A and B are shown apart, each in its own frame.
Chain A
Amino acid sequence: MGSHFLPSTRESLNEMLREIGVANIEELFADIPSKIRLKHGLNLPPPMSESEVRRHVKTMLSKNKPFTEMPTFLGGGVWPHHVPAHVRSLVQRSEFLTSYTPYQAETSQGMLQALFEYQSLVAELVGLDIANSSMYDWATAAGEAALMCARVTGRKRFLVPKLISPERLSVLKNYISGPALETVEIGYNSATGQLRVDELEGQLGEDVAGVYIENPSYLGFLETQVQEIAEAAHKAGALFVVGVNPISLGLLKPPGDYGADIVVGEGQPLGNPVSFGGPTLGIFACRDEQKLLRQMPGRLVGMTTTLDGNTRGYTMTLQTREQHIRRERATSNICSNEALCAVSAAIYLSSMGPSGLREVAETCASNAGYAMKKLRKIKGLQVPIFDSPHFNEFTLKCVKPGLGIETFNDRLLELGVHGGTPVQREFPDLGETAVLCTTELHTKEDIDKLVEAAARAVEGKK
């Protein structure tokens, strides 16, 4: 059992008890009413040694089939990318790993500087000046962005696209339920998937706090009218919020360049494993403007100097926005965030550099392009369903009568390929459709195997 984690022995405990002036440990718990004292201890499995626990957990986890063992085409909010070995090795350094939030700046300069670098790198990536040191994930960052829009504008409606990740929308709605904000879903052009700007303009009024879009969208296509959407939002006095997959920004124009006031996104692909969907890394960035900065949620690391002004250093700053000072008037309740994932992202981006990130992004998009080109030749499939440019995710629809997307996916799995995420339940209008994802990890062989399996699955062959 884990007693080797405890240095105290019965002798040392007794010695301390004598010094404390009590006869036994029990006296230290005498203030717990006997009615609620556990009489027979907890009912848990017996303790395991290190070798036993290693065998036990390994055996249990070996029932999982990692996507590295079968071509898998899943994205939808976390995406498999190569995590360079040195990224994991550096964030496992125990001075980073086993430290708490850097409250004591003098002894935590390493973490503070790494987080300042993360903020700086994200700012470059999204094209804005300020990024915080992380939120929990993209979804909670989107929720916090909606709240921030409401605080900045004093308005209560938040416009979102109908084609948004259903999970994100659910989180967002819970986040804004406290101050009773309202979301309005804006429809899409059925041929292209693009946001209906006319509908958006119809909804934009003096009560709209913010307009949110995702680019690339949940279904993988790019929103091409970003400029018009930004202008419409700003004209109505609303803030423009853009959600991103940061890998795409190795190739695509950053939202800061097309008018975004706030950028949120999922930072997992920047050097963090998929890990069954967590830990994740919520990106949150905004324009450098007093009224925005004051309302920003989350921790910020700032550059300053020592008191004598001689040496550059870093410290958590603008904490008057935060819960431990402002209490019920704080901008957010977040304190523990995803700091170590942010450090992974900083190391990843520093390692990729501009050319590396560009090449990863191009490879992702190129692989998706290749997969779409091949898949759309299969009779009975429509790939993609929208006539728009795509980044690394795309839709696949079973149009063969009687063929459901889940049956199609089951057949793929029997053929050793994991298909995309079905979306027909959340978006019944889209029919028997799934979203597929490719990254730089997919080889030509993987994609060819998908295409071959898809052709057989449509035929009903195994």
Chain B
Amino acid sequence: MKYRQARWTSDVCLEPLVFELGGKGRRGTFSREKLLSDPEIPEGFIRASINLPELSEPEVVRHYTRLSQMNFGVDSGFYPLGSCTMKYNPKISEELAGLETATNIHPYQSEETVQGALELMHNLERSLAEIAGVSRVCLHPAAGAHGELLGMLLVRAHFKLKGEERTEVIVPDSAHGTNFTSAAMAGFNVVVVPSDSRGRVDIAALQEAVTKKTAALMLTNPNTLGLFEDGILEIAKIVHKAGGLLYYDGANLNGIMGKARPGDMGFDIVHFNLHKTFSTPHGGGGPGAGPVGVCKSLEEFLPAPMVEYNKKAKRYYLDYNRPYSIGKIKSFYGNFGVLVKAYTYILMMGAEGLEAVTDAAVVNANYIMRKLEELSDYEFKYPGPCKHEAVVSVEPLKTEKEVTARDVAKSLLDYGMHAPTYYFPPIVPEALMIEPTETESKEELDRFVDALKRIAEEAHTKPEKLRSSPTGTAIGRLDEVKAAREPILSWRMYKREKTKDAEAPPQEIKNDATP
């Protein structure tokens, strides 16, 4: 059985760019009625022309339908992208977030006219606070990294009020790349602590790294190896004793939800990825939502407004009266449409359902780990059991056959599966980071393991084939070096390049697709 992705194609490209389609005078939508008055814009401020494509509605629909067919989503198949929690996204959530009573309300409407939206945000906040064991949750951040930045700004506000100058944030060497950047963006110096031989934070090294300058430790638990930081209570003690705060990167919450709570572990600040754990779709890169929960003592710093409930008046309201608030990190109140979907999901799952999610996610990951341990070409550098994801190394294939983690990952695409995250975390050589999620059945996991087994066999017999994979996808491997060296980032730049080439044509232009 061989996977074949749709491959809409002309001679030299898959599907023309929208600028290369349509024809003069066509349009896809809108015809206006009579103008009520002449716009009072002075002549000098009116633009002469605008270069947009001209297509009819069916042309637009066909073009973007074809593009969608050359894209792979969770609804297409297995998507074991580590640390991204690519679980099924319920259709009911889309339906409810698409209601006119959700899409056609304006953030500046009077509170009387948006009581439902405020109630939903209030309830979602309570549920998230319960799930993470925190006191309050700010729903504003648009993504996990955005939440991290907010978290770091809260850390700074906390120490500023206390009059302490703390300049360092500690991050383990296995941490997500965003942790380093978020801490730096908030003005902190990043101190890296190594992992120990068990793949957990080296506690002795942490003890050394913690000083009077330590503002916070950022930690993912389960960590990016999928392993639970079982020294968490001691870690929390060390950081807190030095006066620092503990930040929880919530990307991996799917591994412990309903089993243990970051707040109970000693974390002071927690971010959630609603587009991971709470099943809102990732949309090819967003929109997501990255709410931030905090313990009681940090509440006062959260952005305004927070949603509050006036029991007497039985009325929800937006509270801007927050004198110690750091101010805002996003306009309005967050990605509301995403919040509706996460709320719907939590309501459907309930406490039992969320725990069942964790159970299935963790059993699935351990099952893959166990099955791959049987294959000599796949190595686990750190013993399990793991939580929601497992990191395997294909170092043996690299050493023996010059087949890399990338080659193995790309080969998987030809089995109609998405690739795992690879080369991450950096502490594992030739890493494949596999997160199956609770969405997959045992049969699907067996197919995946079988695919990896066949790929390993081929690595020994036909390594060239793996290096030139994938072949069943819409396109084969791309020239990434060229993309970076001669960046073409828009139709304008492309046209300019073409003109340059036409004026001085020493080489043949191979990617010219203009009809």
Contacts and interface: CB of A to CB of B under 8 A. Distances in A.
Interface in A354-384: 354-360, 362-363, 365-367, 369-370, 373
Interface string A197-233: 0000000000000000000000000101000000000
Given A16-B364, A84-B29, A347 B52 contact: no
Interface stretch (A137-145, A183-191, A395-403, A452-460): A137-145
Interface residues of B, number: 211
Interface residues on A, range: 35 or more
B14 A42 contact: no
Contacts of B364: 8, 16
B61 interface: yes
Contact of A340 (B284, B290, B352, B360): B284
Given A98-B89, A354-B54, A137 B68 contact: no
Contacts of B340: 57, 61
Interface in A156-186: 165, 167-168, 170-171, 173-175, 177-180
B86 to A, nearest CB: 6
Contacts of A171: 327-331
Contact of A72 (B52, B109, B187, B343): B109
Given A278-B336, A305-B482, A333-B145, A124 B52 contact: yes
Nearest to B148: A333
B473 interface: yes
A192 interface: no
Interface in A11-65: 12-13, 15-17, 19-22, 25, 27-33, 35-38, 41-50, 53-54, 56-58, 60-65
A309 to B, nearest CB: 5
Contact of A351 (B60, B354, B441): B60
B50 A1 contact: no
B177 A341 contact: no
Contacts of A77: 331-332
A293 interface: yes
A8 B360 contact: yes
A36 B288 contact: no
A120 B356 CA distance: 45
Given A167-B331, A389-B41, A32 B256 contact: yes
A339 B283 contact: yes
Interface string A311-351: 11111011110111111111011111111110100110111
Contacts of B385: 20, 22, 27-28, 30-31
Interface string A260-282: 00000010000001111111100
A282 to B, nearest CB: 9
B31 interface: yes
Contacts of A36: 232-233, 260-261, 264-265
A119 B351 CA distance: 42
Contacts of B112: 413
A113 B478 CA distance: 13
A440 B90 CA distance: 34
A450 interface: no
Contact of A313 (B230, B336, B478): B478
Contacts of A98: 73-76, 86, 89, 281-282
Contacts of A274: 103-107
A428 interface: no
Contacts of B440: 7
A67 interface: yes
B513 interface: yes
Contact of A413 (B104, B110, B285, B493): B110
B336 A174 contact: no
Given A1-B349, A67-B105, A347-B64, A139 B328 contact: yes
A336 B95 CA distance: 23
A104 to B, nearest CB: 5
Interface string B214-243: 000000000000011010110000000000
B89 A97 contact: yes
A235 interface: no
B273 to A, nearest CB: 8
8 contacts: A6-B439, A38-B264, A63-B116, A93-B65, A121-B52, A307-B476, A313-B475, A354-B50
Given A82-B30, A92-B94, A340 B327 contact: no
Contact of A7 (B65, B104, B441): B441
Interface string B317-337: 000000000111111111111
Contact of A120 (B89, B352, B491): B491
Given A170-B328, A349-B52, A353-B28, A1 B352 contact: yes
A78 B327 CA distance: 20
